[in-house]
Chain A
Amino acid sequence: MNAISGRRSLSWSRLRGENNEGILVLVIAVLAVVVGISSPSFWSLSTLLNVGTNSLENLVFAMGVLIVIISGGIDLSFMAIGIFAGYAVVVWTNDTGFGASSAWIGFAIAIVIGLAFGALNAGAIAGLRLPTLIATLGTQGVIRGLMLLYVGSKVVPKYPEGLQSLSTRYLVSAHDATSTTRLSVLIVPAVLVCILASLLLRYTTIGRGIYAIGGDAESARRAGFPVFRIQVMIYLIAGGLAATAGLMHVVQVQLANPYELVGGELDVIAAVVLGGASIFGGKGSVSGTVLGVVLISLIKNSLILLGVPGTWQRAAVGALLLIGVTAQALSGRAKRTHNEIALAEVAA
């Protein structure tokens, strides 16, 4: 393709990025300029902090979802794992007093819970070989039901000491005339997770295996990738990330509500897809996903600044998603015709 389309298109495609990251950056920039002109308060530190606060838990959820989607699967259980872990850590620590003084222990317990449910998913998907959508749909019900049955079904406002102090620890805060905007210190682990996910996908054998399985599981197997082992790893990682994000959410909202999160799965999947990941697997990037999450959070934030009623948020995100997938479908089609022309020229 390069030889035919020449230099100019090469630099354009490099700017555009492998997963349309360039387009996302452009959309975000245009949005920032347009909103900034009509509402100058957009250009402030508080907007940045707001977007960071709103997207940090979704970033961590999205990393797990991204890894599953790249491998050609789809996960509907991650929100259930997240709220189970977050809620259970608060309830159990309150009850037993174990690890009440340290948030680290809380996150460690959450990750263990996440890994356990990740193993459950892995068992159904890699072991029983059920389709991922259906397996995780089943485990979603099981996990949520178990939480409401055995962990609790009441909203818990009281937090153990460690988590309580974490929930009010901020990295930066911006003051203006009317209000104070703060950015939780949790942004640090969230960014760290993104960097680690990027390194995992790009530079490790497992990461390359995840792309390979997503491209074609049978080919990956014949190429020597341990498909079973990689699939188990994928769902363990996704479970651990979901649990981490769930506890981050619970810490941030300062009210452990077991009825939250579940039902919002498709929103995170939408952000990942907007970030250029292919629902068929084999394609997707951390940077694209980060941009997708940030774009959605930015849109919600801008609507408020522009004075659009909050009821418009959902419609706006839906329209954005449709525009995003339409653009992907059309560019995919263009690429296909391009390849066919190239093939024809080579043959001639």
Chain B
Amino acid sequence: MTDPSRALVVRLLHERNLVRLLGFALIILVIFSFASPSFLTVISFQSMGYQLAEVGLLSIAMMLTMLTGGIDLSIVSIANLSALVAAQLFKATNAGDAVGGKALGMSAVFIVLAMLTGLACGLLNGLLITRVGITPILATLGTMQLINGVAIVWTGGQAIYGMPEAFLAIGTGKLAGVPIPVIILAAAAAVAAVMVNRTGIGMRLKLVGANPTAARYSALDNDRALIFTYLSSALLASVAGIVMSARSASANADYGTSYVLLAVVICVLGGVNPMGGYGTIGGVVLAVITLQMVSTGFNAVGFTQFVYLVAQGVILIGVLALNQLSDRFRGRYRVGWRLRHAGAEAVQTPEALGPAVPAPEDDAPKRQPAPPRA
């Protein structure tokens, strides 16, 4: 084994949540492969790929904002508005029957415009959160409704059709047997992973999420990092919107509204800390694949989607409870762990901290403002 790959394995083994999720995914794979002969086939995995790509893109978007300790509830609204921009442009130019270079060129231009729409929405989120100072969950709750509302006004609530084949290929085509949406997801995941793990801005995102006060005292520009985050999440959302509309051959103001909360479920399953500061792209992608396998597997053995709904909730609570309980168990023997987690845990688990544990250091500046110098 070469050194980098060995380092990777060693690092992965440290990510206990990730290893647990991987084990869970493998168990599901084995169970459904035995339960249904149609599960472990190329076609079944291709159809899974078409379905998981858009959810995957939205989940990565959500994850970036959760890394900074925020949340983006507006991703699906942004996705739909971006898709609508492209669809309306195709419709306005009567490009539905266009072929060849013209169709390709128009698709490229309209996709760029759709992504710019997404970026504009992201900028709005970023400014509301940084310059105005609104909590992310409230700012994006508002923009979610506003952007969705604008899309409804624009379309009158109707679905928009009329995209050319060249555009639809994004959602339905294959490249060497691999669905194009999966390739887009893989590319987006790779770019996001490099950004989060290998670049300065990625490091800053995590620092802002881990402790905004400390980040500010370290001379980091929190506002700039946050605006960048919401721009990225909106860009990913608009890509998801383009994939969604290309797959369904239509754009609609109210497509996929349940994806917002599904993206949160996936992030949390994938080990992203909702308090910020911690999460891996690999974990999120693994969680998307796992949930998609459960969904497809249930379908293959003849369960309804309602069972999947229950399973999704049970898996979410089960995995988290398992993480929590094992952390607590380990924590009993490792005082260091208790100290490190004291800040995040105080809200939920006051009892876990004995009176002997000192107050978390990182909260100190917030609670007692330094006395002003006379």
A interface, CB within 8 angstroms of B: 72, 74, 76, 124, 128-131, 133-135, 137-146, 148-149, 153, 217-218, 220-221, 227-228, 263, 266-267, 269-270, 273, 279-280, 309, 311-319, 321-322, 325-326, 328-330, 332-333, 340, 343-344, 347-348
Contacts and interface: CB of A to CB of B under 8 A. Distances in A.
B10 interface: no
8 contacts: A134-B265, A138-B314, A266-B145, A273-B141, A315-B150, A321-B146, A329-B135, A347-B371
Interface stretch (B92-100, B171-179, B305-313): B305-313
B40 interface: no
Residue with the greatest number of chain B CB neighbours at <10 A, chosen from A72, A76, A270: A270
B347 A318 contact: no
A325 to B, nearest CB: 5
Contact of B350 (A134, A217, A267, A279): A217
Given A128-B325, A312-B149, A318-B146, 5 more contacts: A131-B348, A145-B311, A279-B135, A321-B142, A325-B135
User: Top 5 nearest A-B pairs by Cβ distance?
Assistant: A315-B149, A318-B145, A141-B313, A318-B146, A145-B309
Interface stretch (B17-25, B200-208, B315-323): B315-323
Nearest to B371: A347
A74 B65 CA distance: 18
Main secondary structure of the interface of A (DSSP, over half): helix
| Size category, B interface | 35 or more
A139 B313 contact: yes
Nearest to A141: B313
B163 interface: no
Interface string B129-149: 000111101110111111111
Contacts of A344: 372
Given A311-B153, A315-B153, A322 B148 contact: no
B149 A313 contact: yes
B145 A317 contact: yes
Contact of A137 (B149, B152, B316, B348): B316
Contacts of A311: 152-153, 156-157
B346 A343 contact: no
B132 A329 contact: yes
B133 A333 contact: yes
A145 to B, nearest CB: 3
